[in-house]
Amino acid sequence: MNFGIGDIVSFLNEKGGGVVTKVINKKMVEVTIDDGFVFPYAVSELVMIEAAFREPEPIPEKEQEKIDVSKLFSQKINHFDKHKISKPHAKNNGMLEMEINLHIEELLDNYSGMSNAEIINVQLRHFQKALDKAITGCYRKLNVIHGVGNGRLKQEVRAILDNENMRYYDGSYAKYGYGATEVVIG
């Protein structure tokens, strides 16, 4: 996993966490803990709690090529000789669906050493991001795979949905068994 400056991390083999303040190399970073001390840590000993927002790297611009205008005119003439063929319509255009799997092994590479509370917080943060994306992305449905387990994650997901006055149902039994919730967006 790649860590960057500003990422909030938890320690894998000890209690606590901090903020990544320096990337030493691909395998080592410096982490500042709550009391201000800075320690180097191997990336393999950290668990990402929340990634910092980073601006995407700019794409290098290509040198502008010189355009031969006579070629453009011949291409334009040849273009009109071809028969126009209509493109097929997008299938199910109005039924955009999104699916998120909240099983912790799908979200984190290494979660050993995390408490149940830390694990459920990571899962709920991912759920909230997916829900926000589904709402802003004009999706019609969000299928949330939370698994069966003891039902704690399902209860927390549905509590968030109730708090936001969202409609939801049990997910498709044929596809997910008892371990999913289908959220109706909009």
Q: What pLDDT sits at residue 92?
A: 47
Structure tokens that stand for 122 in this block: 């990571």
DSSP for 100-164 reads EE--HHHH-S--TT--HHHHHHHHHHHHHHHHHHHHHTT-SEEEEE--STTSHHHHHHHHHHHHT
List of the chain residues with pLDDT < 50: 81-93
Beta strands in 13-123 (DSSP E): 17-23, 28-33, 38-42, 46-50, 97-101
Give residue 90's pLDDT.
Answer: 43
Domain boundaries, the chain: 8-50, 97-184
- Give the architecture (CATH level 2) of 97-184: 2-Layer Sandwich (3.30)
Integer-rounded Cα radius of gyration of the chain: 24
Report pLDDT for 163: 92
How much is the pLDDT for 48?
Answer: 85
Instruction: Give the distance, in angstroms, between the CA of residue 32 and the centroid of all CA atoms in the same chain.
Output: 26
Q: 134-176: per-residue pLDDT in tens?
A: 888 888 999 999 988 778 899 999 999 999 899 999 988 888 8
